[in-house]
Amino acid sequence: MNSFVFIPIIALCCYLLLLFAFIAAKKTKLNDAFIMVLILGVLWVGGSFCMRMQFWPGEKLWYDVSIFGLLMMPFAFFCFMEAFVGAKKSKLRPLWLTLSLAVNIINIFTGLFLEAPLSVEHPGGQVQFVYQVTWSVTVLFLVCGAVLIHMFIIMLRGYKTDEIRKRQLTPILIGIVGVFLGQACLCLPLFEGFPIDVLSALLMVCCMFYAMYRRRLFKLTLLVSKGSCYVAVFVIAILLFANAIRPLERLIRRILGQYEDSYVLITAILFTLFTFLLYYIMKKFVDTVFIKEEITRSETLKEFSKAISCSLEIHQVLEKVTRTVQQTLDAEKVYIFIENGEEGSYHIAYSASPLDDKTVSLDKSNPVIVYLRQHNECLLMEEFQCLTAYKAMWEEEKKQIHNLGIHMFAPLKDGDTLIGLIGTAARDPHARFTYDDISFLTSISSIGAIAVKNSRLYEKVYQEARTDDLTGLLNRKYFYQVLEDEFEKNKDRSLALIILNLDDFKLYNQLYGDREGDLALQRVARIIAASVGNNGYISRYSGKEFAIILPGYDMLSASNLAENIRRQIMEMNKAEQDYALKVLTVSGGISSYPYGAGSVKELVENADMAVYQVKRRGKNAILLAHESMSNSREEDNVDSSEYKQGIYSEYAPTIYALTAAIDTKDHYTFSHSKNVAYYASRLAEAYDMGDDFVELIREAGLLHDIGKIGIREDILNKPGKLNDEEYEIMKGHVESSVGIIRHLPSLDYVIPAVIGHHERYDGQGYPRKISGEDIPMSARILCIADSFDAMVSMRSYKEPYTVEYALEELKRQRGRQFDPRLTDRFIKLVEEGAIVPKLDAELAVQEADQKKT
């Protein structure tokens, strides 16, 4: 027997062990390529072993098997490298396969490139195999070298920028180069008869094992599968019985002499029993040493998955993830970073110890974040420090991670989105995380990522359920819940409630549209939120109302805050060109516990009543409620219909006082307003608009020119045509009218008619230049009435026109200045006598004389 035969035996056992382990592993492209390497390695080493042992059917056959495995090995390395780097199948792959098979077939049948070695028997029975190497062997080296060169090119292309993968591949490359050098050494006389080629194969399999395990491409427990146990038991049993067969025979013959004819049967039975016993012992050993920890971790993972699926609150999810990682990996520190949606950075949301520094955050441009976003795997800081990305980090960023003591990061990913990461630190700074540790943390991060995603979705839905969609403030339902809670918490302290109601907001929406109204609500919400800060709770109490709960505030401090908010809202649109029309004000009421209310209901009712009183007193103010306010509600609670009927009579003196004041500056305005009110209300009645609308039109007619009180007398009474500057001043009376009416509570509904009575149907009017149906119906009616009375009345700059002329002018301007349908109806009413023109005295006499003649 050759003295070097143990070398191919050891190499063959290593290859077989890995082969059986990977056959039992999950089928992947990389695993399949590695299995091909192992099969060819078994052929190569196994053929060499059988050749050296001179097994049947002969040395030539086993040499051909060995050389076939050897010459096909470069092609197997090529396929393995393609799978390792994730490259597409090369177009040259069929060529390399064809060349490898061709040189094998030629060499098997002719021995052209490398003949079978000669066996030389030395004294003592030792056999040595000597190769006859000629120049033709260079063909084999050239073919194998070409395939290996292409393999190196693929490797360099695939990992130009990935230093970590290069490090993972280094041991495999050492093994491949070692095999190539081992074959070259056969040509040297120094290694004549020594199996240097098989020894290089042993080196290669050791390098591959190290690379696959050390770089987390191979799981150690694969080596202790059922198949590998069978192989190990079989090899051990064969070796033991090969050496113990003779002593066992002598022992049986001496002890059981009468059964020596059954020697073979007894030996077979003993061999079988021994094999089963050996397998049982080995399996128990393997389960205790290797499998037990894996089973424990599997159970932990199962319990973790079950527990975390029952949690919807983000805090509970992060706590379970942290506790599981710390206990299973025996980690000293565990940090969980969660993405901040607004900033894009990742801040520490939870850690294993409450004393840990949680102020650290990693920016989205941090190389650690960038790497984890691009790779779906754990990142060891030991490996990351070798990358150029780490070297490019700011010193402050490196210091942050170093101070936290993190050795490894695991990504929390939702698809391709990095929603967070887990940072862990080993208890022993010199200890390394094993493949099993990394696999476990990867599983935890995968399950944890789903749980974090679900909990964030739950919190989002929960937040949406209690907040207003438009403003982001608390909604009315949750407002009452918070108010009840805060009332209970502040039994021994003060609690203030502010209710702010936007004045004339319905009008604002009518004038500028719902979209502009929504933007105004959002701006108001931002002003209130910025003013209150973290000192209270803000709610959108109703469509145009906001409520503020202020724990610990008294009436005075709440009043100061409310007054500050009121001023900010009033100046909110100051930058707008039409600020006079777009100004927004609020009416606010304040109530407090315990001095202004004794219960939650009283607190809300008193604040509401204060708002009501502000509205009646002229709006745009803040009023403090008193305990007696809730008792005065009965006195003010009149029937709504009676209240509506009394609105005009309540404000009639104010209206007539204002028009009388104008009359001192412009004599025609007072009678003009009454005339317009008459014409407009008659037209509205004829159009069957309803009593409420008719009353609205009449009041609008009385108030439509009330803003002229602010126009200079020389402009109002100018006998000639106004110049451009004077005309612009005169146009301002519309905005002035709106400004005055805004402070007449319960009459603000006439503003759409007042503000639009100078708009034209073709869009050429003022102040908003709206056209057609966009002009409110009330404004279109008022426009016709105002224009008709202006034509038939005496003015400082003109004599009155006749009714016929005025009607003809209305006809000419229908569809241009006036609504066509309303114009036709108005003309018909005048012609039928349903509307009697209010003429000046002189004009009335002239028209009467004309009728007589």
User: Which CATH number goes with the domain that contains 321?
Assistant: 3.30.450.40
63 and 51 in contact (C-beta within 8 Å)? yes
Report helix angle 640-663 to 667-686, nearest 10: 150
Residues 710 and 575 in one domain: no
Mean pLDDT, rounded, for 303-328: 86
Q: What is the pLDDT of residue 147?
A: 93
Mean pLDDT, rounded, for 192-211: 75
Q: For residue 1, what pLDDT band results from cuts at 50, 70 and 90?
A: very low
Q: For residue 528, what pLDDT band results from cuts at 50, 70 and 90?
A: very high
* pLDDT tens digits for range 14-35: 788 778 777 777 777 888 888 8
Residues 392 and 529 in one domain: no
If one compares 640 and 156, the residue with the highest pLDDT of the two is 156
* DSSP one-letter code for 288: I
Residues 649 and 628 in one domain: no
Mean pLDDT, rounded, for 413-431: 84
Q: What is the pLDDT of residue 643?
A: 43
Residue 134 φ/ψ, nearest 5 degrees: -120, 180
Residues 433 and 487 in one domain: no
432 in helix, strand or coil? coil
Q: Kindly report the average pLDDT of the chain as a whole number.
A: 81
CATH number for 846: 1.10.3210.10
d(CA 668, CA 729): 19
Order across the sheet with 417-426: list the strands.
361-362, 346-351, 331-339, 417-426, 408-414, 379-380
595 within a domain of the structure (yes/no): yes
Residues 36 and 161 in one domain: yes
- Please report the DSSP string for 186-200 in residue order: TTSGGGTTS-HHHHH
**Which pair of structure tokens corresponds to residue 33?**
């390529």
**Closest Cα partner for 37 from 72, 74, 76, 70?**
76
Residues 95 and 140 in one domain: yes
* pLDDT tens digits for range 732-775: 888 888 888 877 766 667 888 888 889 999 999 988 888 888 88
C-alpha 306, offset from chain centre: 25
Give the residue from 159, 189, 218 where a domain finishes.
218
If one compares 1 and 692, the residue with the highest pLDDT of the two is 692
CA atoms within 13 A on the CB side of 366: 23
Residues 623 and 664 in one domain: no
d(CA 364, CA 367): 8
Q: What is the pLDDT of residue 805?
A: 92
Give the residue from 199, 218, 237 where a domain finishes.
218
Residue 458 one-letter amino acid: Y
Q: What is the pLDDT of residue 143?
A: 92
* pLDDT tens digits for range 768-827: 888 888 888 889 999 999 999 989 988 777 888 899 999 999 999 999 999 999 999 999
**Which pair of structure tokens corresponds to residue 193?**
């008869």
Residues 515 and 456 in one domain: no
Beta strands 622-624 and 586-593 are parallel
Mean pLDDT, rounded, for 265-286: 76
406 and 390 in contact (C-beta within 8 Å)? no
**Closest Cα partner for 47 from 72, 28, 25, 22?**
72
Mean pLDDT, rounded, for 507-527: 87
Q: What is the pLDDT of residue 680?
A: 92
- Please report the DSSP string for 26-65 in residue order: PP-HHHHHHHHHHHHHHHHHHHHHHHHTT-TT-HHHHHHH
Residues 633 and 649 in one domain: no
260 within a domain of the structure (yes/no): no
Report helix angle 803-813 to 777-792, nearest 10: 140
Q: What share of the chain is helix, strand, coil (3-state, %, to 5)?
A: 65, 10, 25
Give the total number of structural domains in the chain.
Answer: 4
Q: What is the pLDDT of residue 808?
A: 93
116 and 60 in contact (C-beta within 8 Å)? yes
492 within a domain of the structure (yes/no): yes
If one compares 605 and 412, the residue with the highest pLDDT of the two is 412
Mean pLDDT, rounded, for 299-327: 86
Burial bucket for residue 112 (CB in 10 Å: 0-12, 13-18, 19+): middle
309 within a domain of the structure (yes/no): no
828 within a domain of the structure (yes/no): yes
* pLDDT tens digits for range 646-675: 555 566 676 667 666 666 666 677 788 889
CATH number for 557: 3.30.70.270
pLDDT tops 90 at residue 275? no
- Please report the DSSP string for 629-693 in residue order: HHHHHHHH---HHHHHHHHHHHHHHHHHHHHHHHHTT-HHHHHHHHHHHHHHHHHHHHTT--HHH
Mean pLDDT, rounded, for 365-393: 86
* pLDDT tens digits for range 332-363: 889 999 988 766 789 999 998 888 888 888 98
pLDDT tops 70 at residue 729? yes
Return all residues near 826 (Cβ < 8 A) that are at least 6 apart. 679, 683, 784, 785, 788, 810, 835
Residue 350 φ/ψ, nearest 5 degrees: -160, 150
633 within a domain of the structure (yes/no): yes
Give the residue from 618, 637, 656 where a domain finishes.
637
CA distance readout (Å), 237 to 1, 225, 265, 279, 514: 20, 18, 17, 10, 89
756 within a domain of the structure (yes/no): yes
Q: What is the pLDDT of residue 638?
A: 41
**Closest Cα partner for 79 from 36, 140, 45?**
36
Residue 349 one-letter amino acid: A
Residue 418 one-letter amino acid: L
798 in helix, strand or coil? strand
If one compares 267 and 728, the residue with the highest pLDDT of the two is 728
* pLDDT tens digits for range 87-100: 888 889 999 999 99
d(CA 38, CA 164): 25
If one compares 581 and 148, the residue with the highest pLDDT of the two is 148
Q: Which residue bears the tokens 């694969």?
A: 222
**Closest Cα partner for 495 from 546, 557, 441?**
557
**Which pair of structure tokens corresponds to residue 186?**
């056969």
Q: What is the pLDDT of residue 397?
A: 87
Q: What is the pLDDT of residue 634?
A: 41
- As a whole-number percent, the residues of the chain with pLDDT over 90 amount to 20
Q: Across 221-354, where does the E strand assignment appear?
A: 331-339, 346-351
* pLDDT tens digits for range 209-266: 776 665 555 554 555 555 566 666 676 676 666 666 777 777 777 776 666 667 677 7
Residues 572 and 710 in one domain: no
Torsion over CA of 709, 713, 718 and 723, rounded to 10 degrees?
-80
- As a whole-number percent, the residues of the chain with pLDDT over 70 amount to 81
Residues 19 and 89 in one domain: yes
What is the extent of the structural domain holding 764?
Answer: 642-852
Of the chain, the end-to-end C-alpha distance in Å amounts to 155
d(CA 376, CA 297): 22
* Cα radius of gyration (the chain): 49
Q: Which residue bears the tokens 């540790």?
A: 437
**Closest Cα partner for 582 from 591, 592, 596, 572?**
572
* pLDDT tens digits for range 579-615: 555 678 899 999 998 877 778 888 888 888 788 778 8
* DSSP one-letter code for 127: E
Lowest-pLDDT range, 100-109, 476-485, 785-794, 836-845?
836-845
Q: For residue 162, what pLDDT band results from cuts at 50, 70 and 90?
A: low
**Which pair of structure tokens corresponds to residue 35?**
């299995």
Q: What is the pLDDT of residue 227?
A: 59
Q: What is the pLDDT of residue 630?
A: 39
**Closest Cα partner for 445 from 291, 292, 304, 344?**
304
Residues 165 and 201 in one domain: yes
CATH number for 137: 1.20.1070.10
* pLDDT tens digits for range 455-470: 888 877 777 778 888 8
Mean pLDDT, rounded, for 622-646: 50
Before 594, cis peptide (omega within 30)?
yes
Residue 304 one-letter amino acid: F
376 within a domain of the structure (yes/no): yes
Q: Which residue bears the tokens 């036709």?
A: 824
